[in-house]
Structure 1
Amino acid sequence: MNYATGRSANPDDASPASGNVTQDAVVVVPGIMGSELLDTATGRLVWGLSGTRWLVSAWTSRDGLAALRMTDDELEGRVGRIVPTQLLRHSAWTPYLRGFEPYTELAATMRRCVPDPASVLEFPYDWRLPVAVNGRRLAAAARAHLMSWRGHPAHDAARRLRRDAAPARLVFVSHSMGGLVTQAALDPLHDSDLAADTRAVLTLGTPFYGAVAAASILNSGRGAPVPLPHGKLRDLCATMPGLHDLLPQYACLLDRGEARRLTPGDVAGIGGDPDLARLAADDAAKRIAIALPGHHAFIGTSQETTQSLSIDNGTVHAHCHTARRHSDGSFIRRGDGQLATFDCEGDGTVSTESASLDSVTTPLPLQHGAVAADRFALRAVEELVRRDRHFGPPMGGAGCGLSTPDLAEAGTPWTMTISGLASPSGVTCRIDAVDGTALPPARLSLHNRRLTATARVDEPGLYRVTVHSRDRNRVSQMVLVTPPGQAAPEGLEDRSAGV
């Protein structure tokens, strides 16, 4: 079944109906850069191709990814040149946001929770466009999907095995920006009954209040040279509404001893579009007032994450700490009256406080791009989708944090840091090419109570660093390795994970 903006799952992956499946209609909504995009003028995919050779070429060649730039027609709302085809099926990478795992495992997990694959809708969307635009499209697609599933023969058979035998409702499973799109879809102006027809919204690493990484992307290259991939991303995002929708919408700017929100003027000064910033702030204020039925947030933790910023002559300096407020709304201050700051960590991209819309959360020691593919996260999501009631999954172990560069050069050593562990005993660190080539395990050493490892990769490509801790938790991150001379121009500061 194929609606205007959504695709159904593969029926070959169906599992037999049983009493341990939900009668509800499931909608999987990916994050930014989580949908394949097709250029209708050329008939070619412009994002989401398989193979790391394409990925390296796209980010290191001058004309790579040019088709993703917003045109004047698109900025005026005349869209259709670029269309989404399906959820990301192959590992991908981008500066600052770093690695994205494909959604194949998440979609397959959802198909195991239902009596028939027809009850799962995968919703790809053009993530370059405003969240509000994609929210309207999701509202229409979700309504059509629910009505179609309620008329399916397998629906009534599944209902009879549930506690209340009620007709299907919607369950949204949304990663990253997908949670914002879902929240926008539940605006009663689109469909006044959609919220009532929704049983649960499960979000994974959604930046409800934005991410400082978005400001860093817009500012990349201001005041210092940057590698070609970082500059290319900046140029792509400078007029991209979807990226502006991810700007932080909280008091993130540390300015003369105080904390305040970014203004459209601030955004213009760091390289963004003030009109898009103003629209993004207005839409965010409307979205945050929209309640998410049965909301449960899965939040990546224990990772070094930028949470605030300062601006010096147009240059953004991102910080891994943030101001916090008392229950009365006033900022917490030290004994001398100065603003106190706290490291609340996060998933490497989204801080824990931005991902926490309410108190119903499950913290998991995972990186942002992997939170929708990790086996512990998928098991917890599966449990909530299957159950008639939300009992909440058991918490995992303490886990660990992983900090890597997002970009490295072939043949040049680079260093990674593993936090949250006091000893290398029982810890393993693997580096594998996404195409399947395994490298020797990295040797860990303890310096100043922090575990570090130095790696060198001789062939360009996309590589996955995976750390297993003694408590059987796993955290992973991707690093793009480019040909020599393309990763770190002279004068570039170290841009480890969390920038």
Structure 2
Amino acid sequence: MTHQAQGYPASSSLGVEPLLLPDITHDAVVVVPGIMGSELFDTHSGKVVWGLSNSRWLTRAWLTRSGMTPLRLTPEEMAGDYGRIVARRLLKTPAWCPFLNGFEPYHDLLWAIRSAVTHCEAILPFPYDWRLPVAAHARALATAARDHLTRWRQHPAQKAARERSVDQQEARLVFIAHSMGGLVTYAALSLGGDGDLAEDTRGVMTLGTPYQGSVVAANILNAVQDNTLLLPRGTLATVAATMPGVHDLLPRFVCLEEGDTVRKLTPSDVAALGGDKELFRTSQEFFDRLCRDPMPHLQPIAGVGQATVQSMRLNAGLVCSSEYGFRADRHGELKRDEHGRPARFPVKGDGTVHRASASPLPRTPTLYGQHGALASGKQARSAVASFLADEDYLGQLQADRGLGLKVPDYVEVGAKWDLAITGTDSPAGISCTVAAVDTRYTRIFPASADGNNRLRATCSVPSVGLYRVTVTSGHSPDLTQLVFAGPKGTEYLDD
């Protein structure tokens, strides 16, 4: 797709007015998705093992005994032989995962980027095998970005757009990264083996990147030890225990409560909660190296307003997570209340990554939205387009007061379940819709105040599948979240 200058001639004493040039960039753009945001193909079986043309594959993946088995790392992969699985493209259809909830595909984001560049060939999507450690992708992304920039600088559209630019500077790179993709980008720029890549990068925008990790990763690894949890959660935990990528997302901030103190996780803690001690130790060593230098040219975006776990306790090997966190003063001392106990702060986030983890910078633009949909929402697309057009991006205003949405990640077909809308106690102007992703089922559920400065709606769905919850309001950005519905009981379906 190319952009042509458009304008409207008008009479004047000097003749026809000049045409208006489009507000676009001639830079090269690299899009790096988040965890589970890439389609994975098994070269041994010849089958797609994550991400298909519709979301019905999720039923087989999560509700059959062998559905997630292809995602387990083999002994060869654990030893560093990563040739079995190939990431072929960005996620094309909605997906879902216990604890992480839903993931929206990236076509809306890509469309917004196409409208802000001079030619579609300026865009490089970078799918990757998110099961693997972040470190494994550093050199691959650095090489792909360098090759992309070299090709784009020779493209006729780049050369023509460069001549119209203010300083006529040669095209540089802009990275747009969601979630885990921000860590992959960080690794590529700092440890990817291309010493000039940072200098050839104009900017990096990250959306919901867990720079300090997330307690949600601990919940994922721990699920197999809690036999009260529903079937898909245990299925995920068994597979995730082999994945270095999940261990890279474990919290690296002070989060573990023990009596009157709070500390960081240790490898022994990770082993106790169901993870792999050595995978976490390797992850810690990697991030120690990575964080010696700040990410260059960074503009983070943080999701806010959503209930987000930020701390945890370990009780006999079981994770009890909480929606509050802790803070230290400028000397590194933990803030305490008048009784000497660690002070608790209910800082929210995007439902997966709490606000403080989503940015290493003190002042960060914020958006109201759920983690899996953060990169596809209207506000995010607008911020990305602005970032691409403006070389000196100052960031949009902080998010206006908005709503929060909290839904179960897994529900049973035919059973009633509640969703909560926070940030208001008035149902006026609020619409709550539940729609099936793959069928025409759509239903509006009324929301009413529950007396705790929030609204509650009681919902149900008729069949197994993936459903999108959408909350709209005249005074807040739309909120969406994906919910997976399975059969009653805890028995696997037939393979």
Q: Deviations over 1:30-88 (max 9, x none)?
A: 00000000010121111001323221121000010211110000011111110000000
Q: 1:267 aligns with which of 251, 255, 270?
A: 270
Residues 441-480 of structure 1: matches in 2 within 5 Å?
441-448=444-451, 449-480=453-484
The Cα of 1:244 is off from its aligned counterpart by: 0.3
SS in 2 for 1:62: coil
Q: Deviations over 1:336-387 (max 9, x none)?
A: 2211010111100000000021134211110000001001111111111111
Q: 1:313 aligns with which of 290, 300, 316?
A: 316
- Tell me if the contact between 2:139 and 2:192 (Cα under 8 Å) persists in the aligned partners: no
> Residue in 2 aligned with 1:327?
330
- Tell me if the contact between 2:55 and 2:93 (Cα under 8 Å) persists in the aligned partners: no
Q: Is residue 2:395 matched to residue 1:423?
A: no
The Cα of 1:397 is off from its aligned counterpart by: 2.8
Amino acid at match of 1:67: P
Unaligned runs of 5+ in 1: 1-12, 489-499
The Cα of 1:289 is off from its aligned counterpart by: 2.5
Q: Is residue 2:410 matched to residue 1:407?
A: yes
The Cα of 1:291 is off from its aligned counterpart by: 2.3
Q: 1:214 aligns with which of 214, 217, 220?
A: 217
> Residue in 2 aligned with 1:296?
299
Amino acid at match of 1:478: L
> Residue in 2 aligned with 1:398?
401
The Cα of 1:330 is off from its aligned counterpart by: 1.1
Residues 46-445 of structure 1: matches in 2 within 5 Å?
46-187=49-190, 190-445=193-448
Amino acid at match of 2:91: L
Change (3 A) 1:457 1:15: farther
- Tell me if the contact between 2:324 and 2:344 (Cα under 8 Å) persists in the aligned partners: yes
Q: Deviations over 1:428-467 (max 9, x none)?
A: 1111111252422111111113200000111111001011
SS in 2 for 1:125: coil
Change (3 A) 1:189 1:126: closer
Q: Equivalents in 1 of 2:378, 2:73: separation in Å?
A: 36
Number of equivalenced pairs: 476
Change (3 A) 1:61 1:487: closer
- Tell me if the contact between 2:190 and 2:295 (Cα under 8 Å) persists in the aligned partners: no
Q: Equivalents in 2 of 1:70, 1:103: separation in Å?
A: 26
Q: Equivalents in 1 of 2:443, 2:249: separation in Å?
A: 38
The Cα of 1:296 is off from its aligned counterpart by: 1.1
SS in 1 for 2:225: coil
Q: Deviations over 1:372-416 (max 9, x none)?
A: 100111111111111132132244431100000000011100000
The Cα of 1:470 is off from its aligned counterpart by: 2.7
Q: Which moved more, 1:402-411 or 1:468-477?
A: 468-477
The Cα of 1:224 is off from its aligned counterpart by: 3.3
Unaligned runs of 5+ in 2: 6-20
Q: Is residue 2:488 matched to residue 1:484?
A: yes
What's the C-alpha RMSD, in Å, of the aligned pairs?
A: 1.5
Q: Which moved more, 1:47-56 or 1:407-416?
A: 47-56
> Residue in 2 aligned with 1:7?
none
Q: Equivalents in 2 of 1:180, 1:461: separation in Å?
A: 31
Q: Equivalents in 1 of 2:446, 2:341: separation in Å?
A: 43
- Tell me if the contact between 1:36 and 1:87 (Cα under 8 Å) persists in the aligned partners: yes
SS in 2 for 1:342: coil
SS in 2 for 1:322: coil
The Cα of 1:308 is off from its aligned counterpart by: 0.6
- Tell me if the contact between 1:399 and 1:474 (Cα under 8 Å) persists in the aligned partners: no
- Tell me if the contact between 1:227 and 1:487 (Cα under 8 Å) persists in the aligned partners: no
Q: Equivalents in 1 of 2:126, 2:4: separation in Å?
A: 24
TM-score, length of structure 1 as denominator length = 0.93
